[in-house]
Chains A and B, each alone.
Chain A
Amino acid sequence: MTRLHIQFAAAAAVLCLAVAPFVLSPFSITLMNYIGIYSLVAIGLALLTGVGGIVSFGQAAFVGVAAYATAWVSALNGHSPWLGLLFGVALTCGVATILGLVTLRLQGHFLSLSTVAWGLAIGFLFGNVEGLGRFNGISSIPPISLGSLALVSSKQIYFLIWGIVTVILFLGYNVLDSRLGRAMRALRGGNTLVESLGINAFRIKLVTFVIAAFLASLSGWLYAHMSRFISPGPFDAGMGIEYLMMSMVGGAGSLLGGVVGAAVVTLLKNSVQDYLPLIAKGASGQLEIVAFSALFILFLQWARQGIVPFVARSLPKTRRARPQPAPPLPRRAQLAPGELLLKVDGAERRFGGLVAVNNVSFEVRSGEILAVIGPNGAGKSTMFNCLTGALRVNKGDIVFAGRPITREAQSRIAKAGIARTFQHVKLRPRMSLLENVMLGTYARTRAGLFAGAFRVNRREEASVRHEALMQLERVGLGEKPFELAGNLPLGNQRILEIARALAADPTLLVLDEPAAGLRRQEKLRLAELLRSLRADHLTILIVEHDMEFVMSLVDRIVVLDFGSKLCEGAPAAIRSDERVQEAYLGGVA
């Protein structure tokens, strides 16, 4: 498949949608309208849950906020539905921003539980607030009008609904393929990874959360003016889980999956309503929810991936052109070789009563390779985490390129020019090699949400793609840039991480046990790569366990033992130092 095929398929789908209302029965059109309205919410959830990994049970509440807002503006106060749209979107996004600011720092299931909480709380509000019709709801909501044409019939509003869905899908895919979208897709890799790339994880989560709420508000607005009547029912917790189900059935993480999921669930529900009464007379209402939940549970047990990813796997692979040369991205000013780059002064880190790093001082000079070594439990990893901002030191100072970074957040340290790799490789296995390396350029580029959505970021994207390819070629992985990162053997995954770090144009490259778990040949390749990077005047700090690997490679070594610095010097001097031998071998008496 090529890009042309995909564009052709998309055009055909849009054409089918445009012709559909002239072919379908009025009932089917109404069904299609509901599918479109639900799709919007499900697309938002695909972004939030599938891409960003934030499971939300509360989207129905956002739909409700917008629906009630527009109903209040148009039905109760007699203004135009378009003003209702404005008010609904603003109110929903405002509520989402506040909720997001408060809850998005929560971790794992705590975050999802908080969505249950506010979903319920907002849901209860609709039925209990004076002036919103309580449980009777609000009726006689005016239709949306375009100029003098009121969109009363289901055929008329069909075009508005599906027009919006099409545009949203188009913009959504643009965003996913942009700088912001890559950051969103990285969220599932965990905060440490995201922050190490200079990305403010909280901000990306908040943006994703508000986008999902925005889509829900569009859906709420359309719902209110299509059904012309609203009550608390369609916005309760049950509907919240139904939306979640739609996005998961379609394939969490796939925007198109949102539409497919909404269609499958709506049609299924419709046929359940049709056929259940035949099986069990008089019990259809109760059985509907039972059948429905049972199907969802079965789905979660057996086919978590969803429909769209399943189908996509059986399609031929998309062939993509290699990135073309493009103007280079701006580079950081590098220090002259030999200048002081990093100064750690009296660093101390405690965990309760345990002093993991005790009064450690050392310096890194521009252009050298320095290794921090030590036996198990020497405090190497803690030292490493303090350097990269994953942990804070309790005492002491860390100055990087003349700038104190002792109390800086991880992402800001990354932005300042320290790029890192991980002992346990952290890549995005479902993203291509190229995209993984492109993630590294995040801090060097600027394109935001709207630039990504409307593709005004093309020039920057071209540079980013080319830069990523160059870094892949630099480390020797340039042959198959569109291979998925998860398919690489461990040795190459380590090297891919280095390419990603290089794409950030770092002043200092810090490697956390890069040789751990590698075979001998892989180690040799890695050492060769690091030497070639030194030849390019890159400064490298290695935290390592493997003595052989370190001795042949680095300029200077700092030895830690029991949290304190034992000694410091050239490899040969360290090798013959008695204290080091004692620490490693337990004495040479």
Chain B
Amino acid sequence: MTSDIAAILAIDGIATGAVYALVAIGTVLIFTVTRVIFIPFGDIAAFTALTLAALDAKRFPGTGALVVILACLATLIEITSLARSGELRLLPRALSFYLLLPLAVVGAAWLVMRMDPPLAVRLVLALMLTMPISPLLDRIVFRPIADGTVLLLLTVSVALHFALVGLGLLFFGPEGVRTEPLTSFSTVFAGVLISGQTLLIVIAALVFSGLLFLFFDFTLVGKSLRATAVNRTGSRLMGIRPERAGTIAYLLGSLMAGVSGILIAPVNTVFYDSGFLIGLKAFVGAIVGGMTSYPGAAIGAVGVGILESFASFESSALKDVIVFSLLIPILIWRSLASLHSEEEIEE
């Protein structure tokens, strides 16, 4: 391997890693606020890419139907639980949030699409269409078992991922997509060609992590999310609703996953099931950060990207084997590094 190839591989790895980093930060966000290890984030990323591709091809994406179905389900569940607890007076609010808002988003997207919008608008549409998915899934799947063990939530999360893969095939079909590059700019740095897309990926990753940092440190909502992450009961006593914090976390996380999906779509062909590997690799990165540290997760994810890039140069068939085998030593290191309180499993 010459230094030229190493440089190309490194840059390639950093770009891939930056994409993973966005998803990893979202994963950490969800985990700290809700204790759910949200494996399906990769699927959200893939769905956003597929949505964008459908919009580019002037087809209305399957995401619309998916959101409508999920919104109806979530509304049904919300109404039942409100009726059970005798709080039907909250019904209008629930209806507007779980039914009208998602439907309005889908309707708006449908209308705008008729007008043959430019790329920038299509990007926004794709993000808007996929953003409601995870908060709705949260309501349907995780809210009823919000107090369960991390392990139960993880098991449900893995099952949910498989459901989403099936839905992905149903709504997007088996064809892979590769969207138009967002920019044709390219530059030569230290003798190595760097594409605009790569720069864009890295910049987007930096900008979004920076925004998240500002959000957490300088807004009240951000602080309430941090409080929920530290202590659910305590923050509830302070008037913070953990459910609301969870919804915000899912929205933010989806946004980051969506952006990563849009960024990766011009570089790699995205299939309905590409999300799993994106999600898992991001997740490996998140574990490097101990599932609690955002910079740690970002660094870990970039590390995974670089490792994958070099591994695929050595043996493209075994690159995934290498990446996932690496997870085990990382897990051991993290498990040793974090002091555990005695964890008793409930029967």
Q: Across the two chains, which residue of chain A brings its CB closest to B140? A: A297
User: How far does the Cβ of B78 sit from chain A's closest Cβ, in whole Å?
Assistant: 15
Q: Does chain B have a CB within 8 A of A283? A: yes
The digit string for B313-345, where 1 denotes a CB below 8 A from any CB of A, is: 000011011001101100110110000101111
User: When A109-B37, A109-B154 are in contact, do A293 and B162 touch as well, CB less than 8 Å?
Assistant: yes
Tell me which residues across on chain B come within 8 A of A192, comparing CB atoms. Answer: 342
User: How far does the Cβ of A128 sit from chain B's closest Cβ, in whole Å?
Assistant: 4
Q: Does chain A have a CB within 8 A of B183? A: no
Q: Does chain B have a CB within 8 A of A289? A: yes
User: When A118-B328, A289-B166, A293-B166 are in contact, do A105 and B154 touch as well, CB less than 8 Å?
Assistant: no
Pair A283/B170 contact, Cβ less than 8 Å = yes
Q: Does chain A have a CB within 8 A of B144? A: yes
User: How far does the Cβ of B164 sit from chain A's closest Cβ, in whole Å?
Assistant: 8
Pair A124/B324 contact, Cβ less than 8 Å = yes
CA distance A289 to B276 in the complex (A): 15
CA distance A53 to B155 in the complex (A): 13
Q: Across the two chains, which residue of chain B brings its CB closest to A426? A: B344
Q: Does chain B have a CB within 8 A of A34? A: no
User: When A106-B331, A120-B324 are in contact, do A287 and B166 touch as well, CB less than 8 Å?
Assistant: yes
CA distance A286 to B324 in the complex (A): 27
User: When A108-B150, A125-B321, A297-B156 are in contact, do A241 and B331 touch as well, CB less than 8 Å?
Assistant: no
How many residues of chain A get a CB closer than 8 Å to chain B's CBs? 50
Q: Does chain A have a CB within 8 A of B263? A: no
Of A79-87, A183-191, A458-466, which binds chain B? A183-191
Q: Does chain B have a CB within 8 A of A474? A: no
Q: Does chain A have a CB within 8 A of B207? A: no
Identify which of residues 105-146 in chain A touch chain B, using a CB-to-CB cut-off of 8 Å. Answer: 105-114, 116-118, 120-121, 124-125, 128
The digit string for B156-175, where 1 denotes a CB below 8 A from any CB of A, is: 10111011011101100000
Pair B328/A117 contact, Cβ less than 8 Å = yes
Pair A121/B324 contact, Cβ less than 8 Å = yes
Partner of B340, one of A108, A289, A304: A108
Pair A188/B163 contact, Cβ less than 8 Å = no
CA distance A244 to B154 in the complex (A): 12
User: When A120-B324, A304-B152 are in contact, do A288 and B158 touch as well, CB less than 8 Å?
Assistant: no
Pair B331/A110 contact, Cβ less than 8 Å = yes
CA distance A30 to B288 in the complex (A): 46
Partner of A190, one of B37, B162, B167, B344: B344
Q: Does chain B have a CB within 8 A of A477? A: no
Pair A103/B343 contact, Cβ less than 8 Å = no
Pair B318/A300 contact, Cβ less than 8 Å = no
User: How far does the Cβ of B278 sit from chain A's closest Cβ, in whole Å?
Assistant: 14
Q: Does chain B have a CB within 8 A of A296? A: yes
Q: Does chain B have a CB within 8 A of A430? A: yes
Pair B159/A124 contact, Cβ less than 8 Å = no
Partner of B163, one of A118, A290, A429: A290
Q: Does chain B have a CB within 8 A of A277? A: no
Partner of A286, one of B145, B152, B166, B345: B166
Q: Does chain B have a CB within 8 A of A324? A: no
CA distance A294 to B77 in the complex (A): 15
Q: Does chain A have a CB within 8 A of B151? A: yes
Band of interface residues on B? 35 or more
Tell me which residues across on chain A come within 8 A of B320, comparing CB atoms. Answer: 120-121, 124
| Interface core residue of A107, A117, A287, A301 (most chain B CB under 10 Å) | A117
User: When A108-B340, A110-B334, A128-B317 are in contact, do A103 and B328 touch as well, CB less than 8 Å?
Assistant: yes
Pair A429/B347 contact, Cβ less than 8 Å = yes
Tell me which residues across on chain B come within 8 A of A311, comparing CB atoms. Answer: none
Tell me which residues across on chain B come within 8 A of A448, comparing CB atoms. Answer: none
Pair B159/A114 contact, Cβ less than 8 Å = no
Partner of A287, one of B145, B152, B170, B343: B170
Tell me which residues across on chain B come within 8 A of A128, comparing CB atoms. Answer: 317-318, 321
CA distance A345 to B220 in the complex (A): 53
Tell me which residues across on chain A come within 8 A of B169, comparing CB atoms. Answer: 285-286
Q: Does chain B have a CB within 8 A of A55? A: yes
Pair A113/B331 contact, Cβ less than 8 Å = yes
Q: Does chain B have a CB within 8 A of A354? A: no
Tell me which residues across on chain B come within 8 A of A287, comparing CB atoms. Answer: 166, 170
CA distance A287 to B328 in the complex (A): 33
CA distance A116 to B279 in the complex (A): 13
Tell me which residues across on chain A come within 8 A of B167, comparing CB atoms. Answer: 286, 290
Tell me which residues across on chain A come within 8 A of B327, comparing CB atoms. Answer: 113-114, 117
CA distance A292 to B340 in the complex (A): 35
Tell me which residues across on chain A come within 8 A of B159, comparing CB atoms. Answer: 241, 245, 293, 296-297, 300
Tell me which residues across on chain B come within 8 A of A124, comparing CB atoms. Answer: 318, 320-321, 324
Q: Does chain A have a CB within 8 A of B206? A: no
Q: Does chain A have a CB within 8 A of B67? A: no
CA distance A345 to B332 in the complex (A): 35
Q: Does chain B have a CB within 8 A of A214? A: no
Identify which of residues 236-268 in chain A touch chain B, using a CB-to-CB cut-off of 8 Å. Answer: 238, 241, 244-245, 248
Q: Does chain A have a CB within 8 A of B54? A: no
User: How far does the Cβ of B73 sit from chain A's closest Cβ, in whole Å?
Assistant: 10
User: How far does the Cβ of A11 sit from chain B's closest Cβ, in whole Å?
Assistant: 31
Tell me which residues across on chain B come within 8 A of A288, comparing CB atoms. Answer: 166
User: How far does the Cβ of A257 sit from chain B's closest Cβ, in whole Å?
Assistant: 14
Pair B170/A109 contact, Cβ less than 8 Å = no
Q: Does chain A have a CB within 8 A of B251? A: no
Pair B335/A107 contact, Cβ less than 8 Å = yes
Pair B345/A188 contact, Cβ less than 8 Å = yes
Q: Across the two chains, which residue of chain A brings its CB closest to B143? A: A301
Pair A107/B340 contact, Cβ less than 8 Å = yes
Q: Does chain B have a CB within 8 A of A588? A: no
Q: Does chain B have a CB within 8 A of A102? A: yes
User: How far does the Cβ of B147 sit from chain A's closest Cβ, in whole Å?
Assistant: 12
Partner of B342, one of A190, A241, A290: A190
Q: Does chain B have a CB within 8 A of A384? A: no
Pair B160/A293 contact, Cβ less than 8 Å = yes
Pair B318/A188 contact, Cβ less than 8 Å = no
Pair A102/B150 contact, Cβ less than 8 Å = no
User: How far does the Cβ of A12 sit from chain B's closest Cβ, in whole Å?
Assistant: 30
Q: Across the two chains, which residue of chain A brings its CB closest to B277? A: A120
Q: Across the two chains, which residue of chain B brings its CB closest to A304? A: B152
Q: Does chain A have a CB within 8 A of B141? A: yes
Q: Does chain A have a CB within 8 A of B287? A: yes
Residues of B within 8 A of A (CB): 37, 141, 144-145, 150-152, 154-156, 158-160, 162-163, 165-167, 169-170, 280, 287, 317-318, 320-321, 324-325, 327-328, 331-332, 334-335, 340, 342-345, 347
Instruction: Identify 24 residue pairs between A and B in the complex whose beta-carbon atoms are under 8 Å apart, listed by A's number.
Output: A53-B345, A55-B151, A55-B155, A106-B332, A107-B340, A108-B150, A110-B335, A111-B335, A113-B327, A118-B325, A120-B324, A121-B321, A128-B318, A189-B344, A192-B342, A241-B158, A286-B167, A290-B163, A290-B167, A296-B159, A300-B152, A300-B155, A304-B152, A429-B347
Instruction: Sort A-B residue pairs by CB-CB distance and give the 3 closest, nearest first.
Output: A293-B163, A290-B166, A117-B327
Contacts beyond the supplied A114-B328, A287-B166: 15 A-B pairs with Cβ under 8 Å: A106-B335, A108-B151, A109-B154, A113-B37, A116-B280, A190-B342, A190-B344, A248-B155, A283-B170, A285-B169, A286-B170, A289-B162, A292-B162, A293-B163, A301-B145
